[in-house]
Chains A and B, each alone.
Chain A
Amino acid sequence: GQNIDQPTEMTATEGAIVQINCTYQTSGFNGLFWYQQHAGEAPTFLSYNVLDGLEEKGRFSSFLSRSKGYSYLLLKELQMKDSASYLCAVNTGFQKLVFGTGTRLLVSP
């Protein structure tokens, strides 16, 4: 079976750092994606990890450990506009993405 777990909701303060964890157990693995989805809008791509380690892109970083079936998305210098759902998705082969239910992040002033 396919199982991807993320916390349902997180809260943080503007300017702070937040880490959103994702654990997965899938029948195949060809990389892990993080997407951001604002309410009522389409998901937009944030990052892709296929090798172990940290990928940094501006305020956002993503980490992957394949042996542990674990990833996290790190958001620094939080802004109000970062309030959104963050979706973890595993590519199980041929671009078939299996998504977690998403983590709703609320950033407060």
Chain B
Amino acid sequence: GAGVSQSPSNKVTEKGKDVELRCDPISGHTALYWYRQSLGQGLEFLIYFQGNSAPDKSGLPSDRFSAERTGGSVSTLTIQRTQQEDSAVYLCASSLDISSYNEQFFGPGTRLTVL
């Protein structure tokens, strides 16, 4: 596609439920990243993929968070047993590869609200 797309754009869920967030990167981009942006906070790195592999999962806040990527394209971020502190905007980005100079192109984000 023309840009990074994410779905849903908004998600409201009840505490304790599981949610799945989807990211479609720019076609041909091998690297994909997930970030979280909480109110008044900077973007927080969660995880990145090179192809289908996630070499660095250190940013995931807890074991309730997981992510996968299939076919070197679409990625899903799953949050199990959601908590109110999980409320944030979840941003996905992609880049050509993981070379340092490559800019990351961001999607519009999914705003997650946990009641």
**Residues of chain A having any CB pair with chain B under 8 Å:** 4, 30-31, 33, 35, 41-45, 48, 50, 87, 89, 91, 93-102
Contact pick for B104, options A95, A98, A102, CB 8 Å: A95
- 6 A-B pairs within 8 Å (CB atoms) are namely A42-B91, A48-B101, A48-B103, A96-B45, A99-B42, A100-B42
CB interface residues, B 90-115, toward A, < 8 Å: 91, 95, 98-109
B contact residues, total (Cβ < 8 Å): 28
**Residues of chain B having any CB pair with chain A under 8 Å:** 4, 31, 33, 35, 40-45, 48, 55-56, 59, 91, 95, 98-109
Contact A45 B103, beta carbon cutoff 8 Å:
yes
Closest approach, in angstroms, between the C-beta of A70 and any C-beta of chain B? 18
Question: Given A31-B101, A101-B42, does the pair A95, B106 have CB atoms closer than 8 Å?
Answer: no
Closest approach, in angstroms, between the C-beta of A25 and any C-beta of chain B? 15
Question: Given A31-B100, A31-B101, does the pair A99, B43 have CB atoms closer than 8 Å?
Answer: yes
Contact A41 B108, beta carbon cutoff 8 Å:
yes
Residue of A nearest to B45 (CB): A96
Closest approach, in angstroms, between the C-beta of B110 and any C-beta of chain A? 11
A33 vs B44: C-alpha distance in the bound complex, in angstroms?
Answer: 15
Closest approach, in angstroms, between the C-beta of B2 and any C-beta of chain A? 13
Residue of B nearest to A88 (CB): B42
A95 vs B103: C-alpha distance in the bound complex, in angstroms?
Answer: 9
Contact pick for A94, options B40, B43, B98, B104, CB 8 Å: B98
Residue of B nearest to A30 (CB): B100
Contact B107 A42, beta carbon cutoff 8 Å:
yes
Contact A95 B98, beta carbon cutoff 8 Å:
yes
Contact A89 B100, beta carbon cutoff 8 Å:
no
Contact A87 B98, beta carbon cutoff 8 Å:
no
Closest approach, in angstroms, between the C-beta of A109 and any C-beta of chain B? 27
